[in-house]
A = this chain, B = another copy of it.
């Protein structure tokens, strides 16, 4: 793997380089529940275009975050799965999930 030549010294910046993107985070969110086909991802990622989805999937594959499996059949079937490294993003995802919940709660209680 490793498409990126020089990783930033700061680990946080490294993470941002690989995941510092709205769509990538949401792709991980959707793949954390299991392998998905291209069409399924496109649907659950409400609003993304195939072009953008494809390009993100490609770079995430190069970076070793996901695996792309093509079935030789017509019509085509392509499945995307998180690699082990990709799976480990669950921690980051969960932290964002928890924080988002709390923030939403804060807003609801603060509004009064």
Where the two chains meet, the residues of A that have a C-beta atom closer than 8 Å to any C-beta of B are: 1-2, 7, 10-16, 18-22, 25-26, 29, 64, 85, 88-89, 91-104, 106-107, 110-111
Contact = CB atoms under 8 A, between A and B. Distances in A.
A8 B65 CA distance: 26
A50 to B, nearest CB: 21
A99 B25 contact: no
How many identical chains are in the complex? 2
Contacts of A88: 99, 102
A110 B1 CA distance: 8
Given A2-B110, A25-B16, A95-B91, A85 B100 contact: no
B85 A7 contact: no
